[in-house]
Amino acid sequence: MQIPYTSSELSSVIRSANPALRAAINNTPDIATALSRLSGFRAAVEAVVDEPSDTRIARLTEEVRQAVDTGEPIPRRLLDDVADSGAGDRARVVIREFLARLDQEYAQDGDLALRGGVDALYGHLHAQLTATLAVGRSAAADLIGVGSADIALRAGVGDQWVALTDARAEFCQILDAQTLVETKVERVERDARHLALAHIANALQVWPDLPRWARYGYTQDAHGNRAHLTPPWPDVKTERPALFDWIIAHPDAQGWVPTIGQRQAVRVALTKAEDDLGPRQGPRNRAGAARWPQRGAQTYPVGSLAGVTP
């Protein structure tokens, strides 16, 4: 008996094999419980579906015989199974529809648990990130001047090289998991400002020109000469391994996976730092900001609007 499994909005998150995300989900009880119900239900249905009818009838016959031989009452569950084995086509359609509705309910419960546990997921991912960066910095301290695995082996620091390589890969997995939760569960717009704040907790301190970059995109000297501004860290979208190397090479840079509240707080701090620079101008205006001053009320000479009807 095949049933159509529900493809929920967050199926890509539920089915993700990302190790960092799976660990975060498994350590968030509400989410883990909801998804465990869904997977347990589907596994139970598949177990029934995969059993050929002849095999099932033989199994039920043997179980009934054993119950009678031992003098024990036949369990109601067993009698229901026997009745179901002889169900007609219409009855099987009803059962199939019932199971499909159950699958939809369990899938929706999983989606709700994920949406309600976003901050918990971010918290677990942040803990993983903190541990990964600590391993990376510790290993990198022993690998100064070591540029390859062969050199590391000859220098007796092969274990540190492996640890650094593994940490770099784990860092990328954590950022992939963070991105998946932000885009699929929370539906965040990962624009330039978001990316500048979502991965380095103290970005405003690490790069003092961040507000000027966000407001104008350039810096200007006393003579009016402009210089284009670019964040000092590698692009998080295309250079994640390089971003890992940059963070561990800068002890003052604090990598993080912020909660919703933490992200909103640094966004507000950035906006305030931008406002302290002066008025907005040019094409780098913040999204939603008015580029031109509001027009004042217009006055017209008496009689100039003669013939105009409202």
User: Do 229 and 263 fall into the same domain?
Assistant: yes
Report the pLDDT value the prediction gives residue 58, as an integer from 0 to 100.
79
75-118 confidence digits (pLDDT tens): 777 766 666 665 555 556 666 777 888 888 999 999 999 999 99
Any domain includes 35: yes
Same structural domain for residues 228 and 131? yes
Q: Which amino acid is at 117?
A: G
Are 79 and 126 within one domain?
no
Structural domain span for residue 81: 30-116
**Whole-number percent of the chain with pLDDT over 90:** 56
Same domain, 202 and 174: yes
Q: Which pLDDT score, from 0 to 100, does residue 225 have?
A: 87
Residue that is last in its domain, among 62, 92, 116: 116
Nearest partner of 63 among 47, 74, 76, 48, judged by Cα? 74
**Residues forming beta bridges with residue 221, ordered by sequence position:** none
Mean pLDDT of the chain: 84
Torsion over CA of 248, 250, 251 and 255, rounded to 10 degrees? Answer: -60
Is residue 308 classed exposed, middle or buried when 0-12, 13-18 and 19+ CB atoms within 10 A define those classes? exposed
Q: Classify burial at 86, counting beta carbons within 10 Å of its beta carbon; exposed 0-12, middle 13-18, buried 19 or more.
A: exposed
128 occurs within a structural domain: yes
Judgement on whether residues 157 and 227 belong to the same structural domain of the protein: yes
Inform me whether the pLDDT recorded for 288 exceeds 50: no
Residue type, 247: I
The whole-number pLDDT of residue 172 equals: 97
What is the reported pLDDT for 178?
A: 96
**Mean pLDDT calculated for residue range 161-181:** 96
Please check whether residue 11 lies inside any domain of the structure: no
Compute the average pLDDT of residues 18-32.
96
Structure tokens at 54: 């002849």
Q: What is the pLDDT of residues 206-264, one digit of tens each?
A: 999 999 999 999 988 888 889 999 999 999 999 999 999 999 999 999 999 999 999 99
For the entire predicted model, the pTM comes to 0.77
Torsion-angle region of 302 (φ positive above 0: left; ψ -120 to 50: alpha; else: beta): beta
Say if residues 155 and 50 touch (Cβ distance below 8 Å).
no
The domain tally of the chain equals 2
> Are 220 and 150 part of one and the same domain?
yes
| Residue 102 forms part of a structural domain | yes
